[in-house]
Amino acid sequence: KYGGFVVDRAKCNLCGICEYVCPVNSIKIEDDIVKGICARCGLCEEACPVNARIDAFDLIEERQLKFLEALDFAVKIPKKRKPLKKEVGRTNVITDLEKCIKCKRCQYYCPTGAIIVDLEGDGLCSECRVCEDVCPVGAIKDTTIDPEKCTLCLKCMEECPNNAIYTDDFTVQIRKPEKELEGIIVSCLNCGLCASVCGTGALKMVDGKIRYDPSLCEECEEKPCLDVCPVGTLRSGAHGRLKGYCVSCGKCIESCDIYEARSFQKVKWDGTVSEDCISCGTCAEVCPKDAITLKRGSIEVDFDKCILCEKCGIHCPTDAIPKTTMRKKTIKDGFTLIDDRLCIKCGLCIETCPEDAITKTPENRIVVDENKCIYCGACNNICPAKAILFEREFSLSK
């Protein structure tokens, strides 16, 4: 009756904390009754020491269900669903970044192209040893070519994933780097998001593993699976067929025989985020399963929906959400504009901004410093008046 948050009279002790913390001064205690027009910021609910303030949306839902039960209809009354799972998990091949040297050996041997290694420079040897494997006469050892054995068949030059092998005056040479190569490795997460949007049934999960039938994919023109892949490994290959999906064959693990940087692991997440969370709402915005609900200073995850695709962690501007992939998306550009006609000058946006980009002018206007703003969205999410116009664009981090 009095706004978005109602008061449990049996619990309320009239301490006045809610009245004190309300940023828009809408809570008043009159004649021992808490009143006010709510802006739904939620500060009073958090501050109440006896949990006497309740979100009216939750209360209304409960009352509606009880009303339907009282009518004693023959139809089954829906129950308020609570997630059954306390965590979510998946099994896939993980890269130990402490051991991996980004040599591209696993990428070369992956039969489906589910591994992408991006090195800082092309044309330099990464010590993947593919040339040793393919040389028909065993002329290459430890990235050194024995000219006495080499027959100039050029098989090594043809197969080198780094284009680091060349010929010079009838000799085969390997172009070696002067310093250790830097780069990133990204591989399919086996999350199954691609299969969930596949309209033809060409992609599906069987016993927790991705399976693909190209004969069912031929007539699909839009290929929505390509757009949803969280790490970007899924892509179109020859003859319109897909590549970049992991089939859990273990060939990459077998090929990484020296450094042993690849292994099957069970990945789990219980929804925990770090203290770096700024309640910006990016995770909830990008979640393809609508599994994330924003809470002040944290998030709530519906594990019955979450498939651990890591899109939330990939897009999180503060890296507060854990992820296993090296893929990262950062905010490229955007704009933030405060509509003076809607702004109620509560100051919540000023308090929540992690970059101190929002200030109040002497004329009592709330303004944004575009030179400081990182377009994280925290202000837009916390604004109770919805007075902030906000847009942003993500790009792949290098």
Of all residues in the chain, what percent are helix, strand and coil, respectively (each to 5)? 20, 25, 55
Q: Which residue, of 51, 70, 89, is where some domain finishes?
A: 70
Task: Report whether pLDDT(199) > 60.
Answer: yes
8-state DSSP, 199: S
Residues 338 and 388 reside in one and the same domain? yes
Tokens of 159: 């197969």
Q: Considering the chain, what percentage of its residues have pLDDT values greater than 70?
A: 86
pLDDT at 56: 59
Residue where the block lists tokens 């854990």: 322
C-beta of residue 55 within 8 angstroms of C-beta of residue 145:
no
Cα–Cα distance measured from residue 2 to residue 45, given in angstroms and rounded to the nearest whole number: 14
Query: How many degrees, rounded to 5, is the angle at CA 367 between CA 363 and CA 373?
Result: 160
Q: Determine phi and psi for 63, rounding to 5 degrees.
A: -65, -35
313: left (phi over 0), alpha (psi -120 to 50) or beta: alpha
Look at residue 185 and tell me whether its pLDDT is greater than 90.
Answer: yes
Q: Are residues 352 and 380 in the same domain?
A: yes
Say if 323 falls within a structural domain. Answer: no
Specify the CATH number for the domain of residue 38: 3.30.70.20
pLDDT score, position 78: 59
* pLDDT the model gives residue 240: 85
Q: Which residue has the higher pLDDT, 46 or 190?
A: 190
Instruction: Give the dihedral of Cα atoms 118, 122, 123, 126; nearest 10 deg.
Output: -30
Residue 161 lies in a domain: yes
Residue where a domain terminates, one of 315, 349, 373: 315
pLDDT at 81 exceeding the cut of 90? no
Cβ-contact 221, 332 below 8 angstroms = no
Name the 3-class secondary structure at 272: coil
| More reliable by pLDDT, 75 or 257 | 257
Identify the weakest region by mean pLDDT among 54-58, 202-206, 289-293, 340-344.
54-58
Phi, psi dihedral angles at 295 (to 5 degrees) = -120, 155
First and final C-alpha spacing in the chain = 52
Asked if the structure places residue 204 within a domain, the reply is no
C-beta of residue 332 within 8 angstroms of C-beta of residue 375: no
Q: Which two tokens stand for residue 20?
A: 């004190």
Look-up: residue for tokens 């250790």?
180
Beta bridge partners of 334: 392
Q: Tell me the mean pLDDT in the region 238-266.
A: 96
Report pLDDT digits (tens) over 306-322. Answer: 999 999 999 999 999 99
Residue 17 is assigned to a structural domain of this protein: yes
Which residues are paired to 324 by β-bridges?
A: none
Q: By three-state DSSP, how is residue 190 classified?
A: coil
Cβ neighbours of 268 (radius 10 Å): 10
**pLDDT confidence tier of residue 279, bands split at 50, 70 and 90:** confident
* β strands within 31-98, DSSP E: 33-36, 53-55, 88-95
Q: Is residue 39 part of a domain?
A: yes
Q: In whole angstroms, how far apart are CA 369 and each of 267, 337, 377, 390?
A: 40, 10, 14, 14
Choose from 104-108, 218-222, 297-301 the range with maximum mean pLDDT: 104-108
Across 46-55, 259-268, 298-307, least confident range: 46-55
Considering just the CA atoms, what is the radius of gyration of the chain in Å?
A: 28
Q: Decide which of 71 and 139 is more confident.
A: 139
**H or E, element range at 293:** strand 292-295
Q: Please name which of 364, 348, 351 lies closest in space to residue 41, comparing C-alpha atoms.
A: 348
Domain count, the chain: 4
Statement to judge: residues 287 and 335 lie in one domain: no
User: Mean of the pLDDT values across residues 286-301?
Assistant: 87
Let me know if residue 321 belongs to a domain.
Answer: no
- Please report, for residues 197, 232, 237, 282, the alpha-carbon distance to residue 217 in angstroms, rounded to integers and kept in the order given: 13, 19, 12, 33
Highest-scoring range by mean pLDDT, 249-253, 351-355, 379-383: 249-253
Dist. CA 120–CA 136, nearest whole Å: 30
| Contact call for residues 106 and 256 (beta carbons, < 8 A) | yes
Q: Are residues 293 and 333 in the same domain?
A: no
Position 2 pLDDT exceeds 50: no
- Among candidate residues 315, 340, 370, the one where a domain is terminated: 315
User: What is the rounded average pLDDT of the residues 250-269?
Assistant: 97
Distance (Å, whole) CA 294 – CA 94: 29
Give the range of the structural domain holding residue 140, as residue numbers without chain letter: 121-181
Give a yes or no: residue 303 inside a domain. Answer: yes
**Are 333 and 392 contained in the same domain?**
yes
- Helices assigned H by DSSP within 39-97: 43-47, 56-70
Residue 30 lies in a domain: yes
How far apart (Å, rounded) are the C-alpha atoms in residues 196 and 204?
7
Q: What is the mean pLDDT of the chain?
A: 88
Specify whether 354 is located in the same domain as 310. no
Q: Which residue has the higher pLDDT, 318 or 31?
A: 318
> Above 50 in pLDDT, residue 3?
no
